[in-house]
Structure 1
């Protein structure tokens, strides 16, 4: 009898223990679910920017090539042997300075003979003129003396011109490049001596699409630089082709930069160009970093205050926007947001619609150089 009672008690205790374990597991799962269901996600730290109206400074952007306002490849128009090279590479020279002298010994030797012939011809002409005036000379003799004088002077002018051509002079003030000849070398007409450039002012050749051609006017301001974010040189439009290239659908434009300080722009250099257009007031803008592009369109996260559990919190709301022009890290907004609203400028990768956010603008990422961010500076 006692044994049956002991077995019954053990059985009851085992059943109770199993029931307790089952109940504990159900209780534990319920508490975990309730915990996560009631747990609030911490707010995501982001930086914000305000939707603003600004004066927009539009421009027609293009890629150009620099060309010296005065620049040539120096050469002789007459053959001869190089006698003297009077310049060094990168030397500044004045207009009229002799740069290269060809051997002109033969021409100078002939010069004395021709000058003497001119004097004889002039004397004969004066004598014939006097005799003709007194009635002693014939008209034929006078004409013959006049023709002889003209021919002698012509030979002298031709010889002097030949001597002048044997001395290569600077056609304008500028900087000469590396000499491409040697002393004693025989030169044919057209042989390039050196590159000669006036770097004080530079022409800029660029092209614009046919749709933008009507916006380009003579005298219009242009900004030029070797980088698209550093257009430090100011110039003006000096010419525009009156036709569209049928192959490229582009219009050729030429500008000039009058002040090329320290020769910063070199002929042949690749340049970024902007033709400045009239300013436009009251354009709605936001930083480009605030815009997210997706398959469904461009959108931003606006920051809206909400009441959650009796507390005022900032919530991110997804708003699709229509974009306009972009310039200098700023984008024009045609529709979607209004001036005065706040948008998320950075930290969007952590957000989804309805996320609670915390604003931290100690570092304005919209004004940080992207190059420095990439390098960690």
Structure 2
């Protein structure tokens, strides 16, 4: 077959297909009119063979339609997350030096203050060193006193007195050094808090790397949790929240946001947030799990039944009932829920939208809303 015959055959097939589409596809005539082909709408024959553009307006549909009311729903107004609590401050206590642990001054579960001694190491050597340094200091001090008396009678030189004073100063520093070494044989609490279970017993040899106690400051509890990326801009330092222990859902604690991470985790798409909860009764412990609840203003959108959503060549739309006539309203779907669809459209709360009978509706058609009639009771007249 020659090329021009193939082209004519393709054109004929396209014209036939276009005619079938215009004749039988619902909404085709309105689509052509929207594209500027009003002549096609006028020339399209109706069922009786007359042009559709010359026909009088159609009568109201014989089939009733079922409608549903538009409501307003708010999303992104509440955040629920699971967080893990930890102490306001936690310190693992280690000795300054190596030695034999002679005694624990406190027991597990005791409350200690910052600077309080909690354990001691053997310190005989350090005590001897301190006494020796004190003897040397006393000798140097006596020498300075004697040289000053001799200097007043010009029996000694200025250089000799200066050397004696320097010797006294070095002796005082040696005493201070020996005292520090002795003090460090006592292990003190760096913070105030509660002592945990002691991992070792007195009599063990320890080093500067040995953990002999853990102290938790539980005056307040820090809760780490992660929020979805969409809430990142809404979370603020100082914002209030509610924390409910999963082990005791009947209790609820108030807290505030104390810290927010500076980046979104690129794997989980969540933001690390930290909250602080006061713990005056000491009823909370580090490691507890909490359900965190936060409230936000949220975003409000119209909500319609999923049956009201229709799809056309230009996207989703709904049929709204305006003064008894059908009106096609384009929509943008925001969120699909189980019983409703949140949309962005030119409708308001209380407007009626068609949910059943949409196959027979055209733009501007008069519609009749069917009423829900209850069937008569058995045995009734």
Structure 1 gap segments, 5+ residues each: 1-50, 297-321, 342-352, 359-377
Following superposition, the deviation at residue 89 of structure 1 comes to 2.2
Cα pair 1:284 1:332 within 8 Å, conserved: no
The 2-side partners of 1:178 and 1:205 are apart by: 24
The answer for the alignment partner of 1:250 in structure 2 is: 270
Are 1:204 and 2:254 counterparts?
no
Out of 233, 238, 259, which is 1:239 matched to?
A: 259
Cα pair 2:96 2:184 within 8 Å, conserved: yes
Out of 98, 101, 126, which is 1:107 matched to?
A: 126
1:88-132, Cα deviation, whole Å (9 max, x unpaired): 222233333322111112212222221121222233345556666
Are 1:214 and 2:233 counterparts?
yes
Following superposition, the deviation at residue 189 of structure 1 comes to 0.9
1:4-35, Cα deviation, whole Å (9 max, x unpaired): xxxxxxxxxxxxxxxxxxxxxxxxxxxxxxxx
The answer for the alignment partner of 1:65 in structure 2 is: 84
Cα pair 2:109 2:197 within 8 Å, conserved: yes
The answer for the alignment partner of 2:141 in structure 1 is: 122
The 2-side partners of 1:91 and 1:227 are apart by: 27
Q: CA RMSD in A?
A: 4.5
Distance 1:188 1:332, change over 3 A: farther
Cα pair 2:74 2:301 within 8 Å, conserved: no
The 1-side partners of 2:236 and 2:79 are apart by: 12
Superposition TM-score, scaled by structure 1 size: 0.56
Distance 1:333 1:201, change over 3 A: same
Mapping of 1:6-155 within 5 angstroms? 58-128=77-147, 137-155=156-174
The 1-side partners of 2:336 and 2:116 are apart by: 53
Cα pair 1:284 1:339 within 8 Å, conserved: no
Which structure dedicates a bigger proportion of its chain to strand?
A: 1
Cα pair 2:243 2:293 within 8 Å, conserved: yes
Cα pair 1:220 1:276 within 8 Å, conserved: no
Structure 2 gap segments, 5+ residues each: 1-69, 311-332, 353-369, 376-381
Cα pair 1:223 1:231 within 8 Å, conserved: no
The 2-side partners of 1:53 and 1:231 are apart by: 33
Of stretches 201-210 and 68-77 in structure 1, the one that deviates more from structure 2 is: 201-210
Distance 1:269 1:142, change over 3 A: farther
- 3-state SS of paired residue (1:214): coil
The 2-side partners of 1:357 and 1:119 are apart by: 112
The 2-side partners of 1:266 and 1:163 are apart by: 36
Mapping of 1:321-336 within 5 angstroms? none
The 1-side partners of 2:336 and 2:160 are apart by: 86
Cα pair 2:91 2:215 within 8 Å, conserved: yes
Cα pair 2:73 2:342 within 8 Å, conserved: no
Following superposition, the deviation at residue 54 of structure 1 comes to 9.8
